[in-house]
Amino acid sequence: MTRPSTLRGAPGLLVTLFVACLTPALAACGASTRDTVLSCTAPSDCGPAALCVQGACQASTRPAADFTSPATLTTNRAVAVTATVHDPDPGDSVATWAWSVTRLAADCDADADVADAATLQAVFWCAGTYQISLVVSDSTGVESEPARRTVTVTALPDAPTVTAGAARTVEHRCAGAPLRCELEQPVALSAAGQSPLGGVLTYQWTAIPPDASRAGAAAGLSPSATARDATLNIETEGGPISGAWRFRVRVSDGSGNLAQATQLLTVGNRPPVIDGAPISLDHRYEDGAYVASGTLTVPVYDPDGDPLEVGVAMSEPSGSGCASSFTEVAAGTGLFSLSCANPLSLTSAPRALQATAGDVNGAEASVPVVLEIRNRLPVVQPAAGPGAAYLTLDHSVGTCPGGSGLCFQVGGPNPFVAIDPDGDPVSAITLLPRVEPARTASVAELGAGASADTFRFSTPVGLPAEFRSPAGASGFSVTATTADPFGASAPSQPLFIQILNRPPAVRTSRPVTTVAHRYLASASEYQATAPLAVFEDPDGDPLVQGGSVGDQSCPTVTLGADGAASVACRRAYQPAPTSPPTLSGFAGTHQVTAVAGDGWETTGAVTAVTIAAAPPTVPSYSGAVESCACKCREWDPEPPAVCIGGWGWAAGTGRGAFPVRPADPDGDPLAVTFSLVAIPPASIPTGASVTPAAMNGLPESSTTTVASSSFPVRVVVSVSDGVSQATATWTATDVSCSKAGQNCQ
Compute the average pLDDT of residues 370-399. Answer: 96
Looking at residue 693, what is its pLDDT?
59
Q: Is the pLDDT of residue 512 over 60?
A: yes
Question: What gap in Å lies between CA 203 and CA 89, rounded to an integer?
Answer: 46
User: What's the pLDDT at 17?
Assistant: 27
* C-beta separation of 596 from 563 below 8 A: yes
Q: How many angstroms separate the CA atoms of 577 and 580, rounded?
A: 7
How distant, in Å, are the alpha carbons of 115, 346, 372 from that of 343?
67, 5, 14
Assess whether pLDDT exceeds 60 at residue 9.
no
Please report, as a single letter, which amino acid is at residue 609.
V
Distances (CA, A) of 28 to 4, 31, 33, 64, 136: 19, 8, 10, 19, 21
Q: Is the pLDDT of residue 505 over 60?
A: yes
Helices (H), 2-156: 11-21
CB atoms within 10 A of CB 517: 23
CA torsion 11-17-23-29 (nearest 10°) is -130
Q: Is it the case that residue 529 has pLDDT exceeding 80?
A: yes
pLDDT in the model for residue 450: 66
pTM here is: 0.62
What's the whole-number average pLDDT of the chain?
89
Closest to 281 (Cα-Cα) out of 418, 376, 350? 376
- Please count the other Cβ atoms lying within 10 Å of the Cβ belonging to residue 6: 8
The confidence score (pLDDT) of residue 694 equals: 52
The string of pLDDT tens digits covering residues 723-740 is 999 999 999 999 899 888
Percent of the chain with pLDDT over 90: 73
Say if residue 311's pLDDT is above 50.
Answer: yes
Residue 653: what pLDDT?
Answer: 82
Rounded to 5°, the CA angle 378-381-385 comes to: 135
List residues bridging with 743 in a β-sheet: 648
- The pLDDT confidence band at residue 54, using thresholds 50, 70 and 90, is low
Structural element, H or E, at residue 405: none
Q: At CA 262, angle to CA 250 and CA 223, rounded to 5?
A: 60
Quick one: 247 exposed, middle or buried, by C-beta within 10 A (0-12, 13-18, 19+)? buried
Q: Please state, as a whole number, how many other Cβ atoms lie within 10 Å of the Cβ of residue 100.
A: 14
Task: Identify which of 253, 111, 236, 113 has the alpha carbon closest to the alpha carbon of residue 183.
Answer: 236
The yes-or-no verdict on residue 232 having pLDDT over 60 is yes
Read off the pLDDT of residues 560-572 as tens digits, 9 standing for 90 and up.
Answer: 999 999 999 999 9
Confidence of residue 662 (pLDDT cuts 50, 70, 90): confident
Q: Give the least confident one: 144-153, 160-169, 220-229, 663-672.
A: 663-672
Stronger pLDDT, 382 or 38, i.e. the higher one: 382
Please tell me the predicted confidence (pLDDT) of residue 34.
41
Of residues 391 and 37, the one with the higher pLDDT is 391
**Which pLDDT score, from 0 to 100, does residue 26 have?**
37
